[in-house]
Amino acid sequence: DGGITQSPKYLFRKEGQNVTLSCEQNLNHDAMYWYRQDPGQGLRLIYYSQIVNDFQKGDIAEGYSVSREKKESFPLTVTSAQKNPTAFYLCASSIAANSPLHFGNGTRLTVT
């Protein structure tokens, strides 16, 4: 089955620690994205990548970093500089920059 895998589903970290969220896709999609969802809010774009070894900041990139060394993988690191890291994080991909997004099932990160 083709799809997007985000792991783990739930993640707990202490304040001040960096944490990396995994996102892998086997859809052979060129573009990948990271969104954040907070309660009662829409999805906000953190970072996106249209090709390997290239990525752009989204609306709320501060406190986050990404890498795109392989087409299949787009890990997101939530750094200690992110002031409100507790949220639901969604990874997505699209076959082209103007095609609808395919989403993973998300990772819920809780930082205490």
The reply to whether omega before 85 is within 30° of 0 (cis) is: no
Does residue 68 touch other proteins according to CB under 8 A?
A: no
Contact 3, 60 (CB under 8 A): no
Residue choice 85, 102, 109, 111 for contact with other proteins (CB under 8 A)? 102
Cα(92)–Cα(76) distance, integer angstroms: 12
The vertex-34 CA angle with 33 and 40, nearest 5°, equals: 125
Residue written as token pair 């783990």:
8
43 contacts other proteins (rule: CB under 8 A): yes
Range in contact with other proteins (rule: CB under 8 A) among 12-20, 43-51, 61-69, 72-80: 43-51
How far apart are alpha carbons 20 and 26 in whole angstroms?
20
Number of residues that bind other proteins (CB under 8 A): 28
Rule CB under 8 A: say whether 19 interacts with other proteins.
no
Among 34, 48, 64, 74, binds other proteins (CB under 8 A): 48
Can residue 31 be called a binding residue for other proteins (CB under 8 A)? yes
For residues 102 and 91, give the distance between their C-alpha atoms in angstroms, rounded to a whole number.
Answer: 8
Q: Rounded to the nearest whole angstrom, what is the least distance from the CB of residue 106 to other proteins in the complex?
A: 6
Residues that bind other proteins (CB under 8 A): 4, 6, 9, 31, 33, 40-45, 48, 50, 56, 58, 90, 92, 94, 97-106
